[in-house]
Amino acid sequence: MTVSLGGVPVLVDVSFDIVDGLNLVLGPNGSGKTTLLRTIAGIYRPQRGSVEVDGDVGYMPAEFSDAYMTVMDVLLAGGGRPPSRYLAWLAAVGLGGYERRIFSELSTGQKRLVLLAKALAEGRLVLLDEPTANLDPARKAVIMRVLQRLKKLKTFIVASHDLDLVNIADSVVLLRGGRAVQLRPEEVDGEVLSETYGLPIEVVRSGGHKLFLPRYDF
Amino acid sequence: MSGRNLVLFSLASLPPLFVLFLSTGAVFLTPDKLFAGGPYSVIVYGIRLPAAIAAALIGSILAVSGAVMQTLYRNPLLDPYITGTASGAAFGALLAYALAVVGLSPAYMLLYQVPLAFLFATAASIATLAAGRGRVYATVIGGVAVSYIFSAATTIGLSYLSSREPQIPPLAFWLFGYIDYVSYRADALLAVVAAGLIAAAVKEARRMDLVAISDELAHVRGIKPDRYRLFWISAISLSTALIVSQVGVVGFLGLMAPHMARMALKNGSAAAVVPASAALGAPVLLASGALARGLLGFSVPVTAITSIFSAPIIILALVHAGKRIDS
């Protein structure tokens, strides 16, 4: 598909298969990751091509307001769906019993988990924009564990700058200059990442995980 | 407090507040005279009861309007007075008298007064919200500036017109409102608007909450946030236009009632605050109206009373925000 915003092409003939599990979208700032998610979610319409998605889409935005309302109100926002389904997913992300807490008083990581629960309840395909940004390592680990566990139940498309997510991905889409390359996670190596970001990135294996080490020249 | 208890509490407070409102005015009527009939019944049923009904309805409409604006623009300081909506409406409503002066029949004034007020109310709201660009305090300052412009234009226009049409309401009416003379016909119109606005806002509350959380999330659920906001601003401007053409500018109800609701319910979602504000608006404006109409021993415009109670809310919000920035 091709998507232009304000007459400027952002995504050009981007095409990839959504696999079961976790689909990770990587790419530099401005490469169109969020645009891709929004197009899949139906917010933008492609000028050429189409998006084929089975069933409802759940969405977790990168930015959201610090709403002074209960977690239950956040989950039910938009209306028309039964509370029981939301509560089940709230428990599934590890926040069982949080429904009466005030959303704006939660930590950043907990707020993300609430919105993740909402997205999970609302769609079979779940789109996450930067789910691990601005989190300390422990909080990030919580989100990664939740995703690792739930990707057996739902299909995720995750747009992120966080290379660590390659470790839990089942497919990786690299966006560069509006074009996409789809790889299997094991094909993501230093060479292809260095080329994507225009910066040497070394990939080291440690304890079954890949560690990503960008070489900053300063 | 639960939302249901708050609504029940508000409803229970209505009868005594109605009695209080009916007692006050140019002549204070003690309860025994109030229901004695005879010469007093003209004052009570001909003048005061329709005004009291108007106060209750206007209170609810403005309170819900404030709650909706605050949710959709993520700004707890908005209401149709702060955003200049009411001042714009006042200018438009006054313009209708100018048209009457140049020859349009005053008999049809309702027909062109509310549309004119609506036009300027909408223009004023959009100017304020555009100037504020989503920033909490910038929007408030924009609203103050827009209000100044329309209040000045109203003052200038009235100075010119009142020498030609002595029956035009005085400046205090256009700037601060008097809920003293309202017809039963206007009550009927206000009732229709109140019922429509409250029902729509309660039904849409969950969708408003989604817009409050994230424009993107709203989009995914098929709500175009900008169009949605514009729709509600238009509906609120229309309601405000009707109110201002009947009783002048009534300020701060949309600030007071939702804040009381949030504090009582310890929850700021539209799903909780919209119905609670609708319930609280009526008793709050009845009480303010009774105070304004002579509980002090003399009559003052109603916004003079609501300002005294509401301006501290804004000051508290500023102090609170200041603390957060300091620490």
pLDDT tens, residue by residue, B185-241? 999 999 999 999 999 999 999 999 999 999 999 999 999 999 999 999 999 999 999
Q: Is the pLDDT of residue A130 over 70?
A: yes
Gap between the Cα atoms of A128 and A25, Å rounded? 10
Place of tokens 């919000």: B317
| Shortest distance, CA B269 to any CA of chain A (angstroms) | 5
* pTM exceeds cut of 0.80: yes
Q: Does B214 touch chain A (CB under 8 A)?
A: yes
Q: How far, in Å, CA of B14 to CA of B281, rounded?
A: 11
Of the candidates B207, B220, B268, which has its C-beta nearest A79's C-beta?
Answer: B207
Question: If you count residue pairs, one on A and one on B, with CB atoms under 8 Å apart, how many are there?
Answer: 75
- Amino acid identity, residue A2? T
- Chain A, window 10-39: residues with a beta carbon less than 8 angstroms from a chain B beta carbon: 38
Say yes or no for a CB contact (<8 Å) between A61 and B221: no
A53 part of contact set with chain B, CB < 8 Å: no
- Amino acid occupying residue A73: D
CB contact (8 A) between residue A59 and residue B269: no
Q: In whole angstroms, how far apart are CA B266 and each of A87, B200, B278?
A: 21, 24, 17
Report the residue from B214, B216, B267 with minimal CB separation from A73.
Answer: B267
Q: Are B66 and B79 in contact (CB under 8 A)?
A: yes
Q: Which chain A residues are closer than 8 Å to B271 by Cβ?
A: 69, 73, 76
β-pair partners for A209: A206
Give the length of chain B: 327
Task: Assign 3-class secondary structure to chain A.
Answer: CEEEECCEEEECCCCCCCCCCEEEEECCCCCCHHHHHHHHHCCCCCCECCCCCCCCEEEECCCCCCCCCEHHHHHHCCCCCCHHHHHHHHHHCCCCCCCCCEHHHCCHHHHHHHHHHHHHHHCCEEEEECCCCCCCHHHHHHHHHHHHHHCCCCEEEEECCCHHHHHHCCEEEEEECCEEEEECHHHCCHHHHHHHHCCCEEEEEECCEEEEEECCCC
Which superfamily is assigned to A1-55+124-189 in CATH? P-loop containing nucleotide triphosphate hydrolases (3.40.50.300)
Task: Write out the DSSP string of B116-171.
Answer: HHHHHHHHHHHHHHHHHTT-HHHHHHHHHHHHHHHHHHHHHHHHHHTTT-TTSPPH
Q: Is B207 in the A-facing interface, judged by CB distances under 8 Å?
A: yes
**pLDDT score, position A35:** 93
Distance CA A193, CA A211 (A): 12
| Whole-number pLDDT of residue B36 | 83
pLDDT at B327: 35
| Chain mean pLDDT for chain A | 93
Print pLDDT tens along chain B (327 aa): 888 999 999 999 999 999 999 999 988 888 888 888 788 888 999 999 999 999 999 999 999 999 999 999 999 999 999 999 999 999 999 999 888 878 777 777 878 999 999 999 999 999 999 999 999 889 999 999 999 999 999 999 999 988 888 888 989 899 999 999 999 999 999 999 999 999 999 999 999 999 999 999 999 999 999 999 999 999 999 999 999 999 999 999 999 999 999 999 999 999 999 999 999 999 999 999 999 998 888 899 999 999 998 888 778 877 776 554 443
Say what the pLDDT of residue B326 is: 41
Closest partner residue to B206 among A61, A63, A78, by Cβ?
A78
Q: Are B293 and B86 in contact (CB under 8 A)?
A: no
Q: Do β-strands A3-5 and A8-11 pair in parallel, antiparallel, or remain unpaired?
A: antiparallel
Asked if B271 has any chain A CB less than 8 Å from its own CB, the reply is yes
Beta carbons of B268 and A74 less than 8 Å apart: no
CB contact under 8 A, B206 and A76: yes
> Which superfamily, per CATH, for B3-326?
ABC transporter involved in vitamin B12 uptake, BtuC (1.10.3470.10)
| Chain A residue whose CA is closest to B76 | A68
CA distance B112 to A156: 56
A73 and B271 within 8 Å at the Cβ level: the answer is yes
B263 interfacial to chain A (CB closer than 8 Å): no
Q: B119 in contact with A at a CB cutoff of 8 Å?
A: no
Question: What is the domain partition of chain A in residue ranges?
Answer: 1-55+124-189, 65-122
Closest CA–CA distance from residue B206 to any residue of chain A (Å): 5
Q: Name the band, by pLDDT with cuts 50, 70 and 90, for residue A76.
A: very high
Q: Which residues of B291-327 are buried (b: 16+ CB within 10 A; e: fewer)?
A: bbbbbeeeebbbbbbbbeebeebbeebeeeeeeeeee
Contact A77 B267 (CB under 8 A): no
